[in-house]
Amino acid sequence: MKGLYTALMCSFDESGNINEKGLREIVRQNIDVQQVDGLYVNGSTGENFLISKEQKKQIFDIVKNEAGDDVKLIAQVGALNLDEAVELAKYATELGYNAISAVTPFYYKFDFDEIKDYYNTILDSVDNNLIIYSIPALTGVNMNLEQFGELFKNDKVIGVKFTALDFFLLERIRHAYPDKLIYSGFDEMLLSASVLNVDGAIGSTFNVNGQRARQIFELAQKGQIDEARDVQKATNDLIAEILDNGLYPTIKEILKHQGIDAGYCRKPMKSLNSEGVKKAKEIAEKHLK
């Protein structure tokens, strides 16, 4: 399960329905062109928290059907409704997803026992392994080293997607739990995370910049830090402009510019105005030639 995973975008039509053709094209682009090792399905980038349970299942179906066994698949099933999370975990497992992942439960201030119960409840219901999805900036949930260790006591918790700025904690987790998988979550910090010996990365910008992500990761593994830093610089020049123009809509516009039917974002996320669309094209031309 090591390696680089795209946090998969989903294509929606203007009314917010899944655009199956577009989603299949995004899957193929990631497998055939970006050549990532796997896909992280229904994460933040997939606008998972804006869609219905039935749409989540439909996306799991389409992606598995398109990807087959070409790459590894991780299904993000985390939801505040624990019954839904369990149902999705079972669903994705039956479809053949290689692992599941679940965001830490958010919005209410759950204490750690509640968080632990959430993960164990999901895992008790399926014969599959789980990757914790930790993204404190969006969830407000900050777990410490000991709490990660508590969750890791369940053998089916095989790792963590670490989307956080706290690299002291990342280093501590790496050394305390060498057998658990750590995936770097912030694409703009991939080199720094790779130097700390993460096992892989999961990123939204890999939809359009996956090849550079691989270069950074592999150069760092070989100890070619100067070269890796150059590629991270080129990557961050791209990411800075994408963030400035609006993360998910800009990635979709770049994909469209490359001939992929990436569609619209789900409301309340807004789509780009004509100036934003123009800017997205310029970004693609400038950084992804």
Active-site choice (40, 91, 133, 183)? 133
Binding of ligand HMN by 38 (CB under 6 A): no
Strand partners, 4: 201
Q: Which is nearer to ligand HMN, 25 or 187 (CB)?
A: 187
Q: Which is nearer to ligand HMN, 43 or 105 (CB)?
A: 43
Binding of ligand HMN by 187 (CB under 6 A): yes
> Rounded to an integer, what is the distance from CA 281 to the centroid of its chain?
24
Binding of ligand HMN by 129 (CB under 6 A): no
Binding of ligand HMN by 245 (CB under 6 A): no
Which region, judged by CB under 6 A, interacts with ligand HMN, from 106-114, 165-173, 183-191, 266-274? 183-191
Binding of ligand HMN by 6 (CB under 6 A): no
What SS3 string covers the chain? CCEEEEECCCCECCCCCECHHHHHHHHHHHHHHHCCCEEEECCCCCCHHHCCHHHHHHHHHHHHHHHCCCCEEEEECCCCCHHHHHHHHHHHHHHCCCEEEEECCCCCCCCHHHHHHHHHHHHHCCCCCEEEEECHHHHCCCCCHHHHHHHHCCCCEEEEEECCCCHHHHHHHHHHCCCCEEEECCHHHHHHHHHCCCCEEEECCHHHHHHHHHHHHHHHHCCCHHHHHHHHHHHHHHHHHHHHHCHHHHHHHHHHHCCCCCCECCCCCCCCCHHHHHHHHHHHHHHCC
Binding of ligand HMN by 162 (CB under 6 A): no
Which region, judged by CB under 6 A, interacts with ligand HMN, from 91-99, 119-127, 149-157, 202-210? 202-210
Active-site choice (56, 64, 72, 161)? 161
Binding of ligand HMN by 1 (CB under 6 A): no
Nearest-CB residue to ligand HMN? 43
Which region, judged by CB under 6 A, interacts with ligand HMN, from 109-117, 186-194, 225-233, 261-269? 186-194
Which region, judged by CB under 6 A, interacts with ligand HMN, from 28-36, 91-99, 182-190, 253-261? 182-190
The two structure tokens encoding residue 12: 């929606």
Binding of ligand HMN by 247 (CB under 6 A): yes
- Residues that bind ligand HMN (rule: CB under 6 A) add up to a total of 17
Examine the residue annotation and report whether 40 is marked as an active-site residue of this protein: no
Examine the residue annotation and report whether 252 is marked as an active-site residue of this protein: no
Which of the residues are catalytic?
133, 161
**Which residues would be at the binding site for ligand HMN (CB under 6 A)?**
7, 40, 43-45, 163, 185-188, 202-205, 239, 243, 247
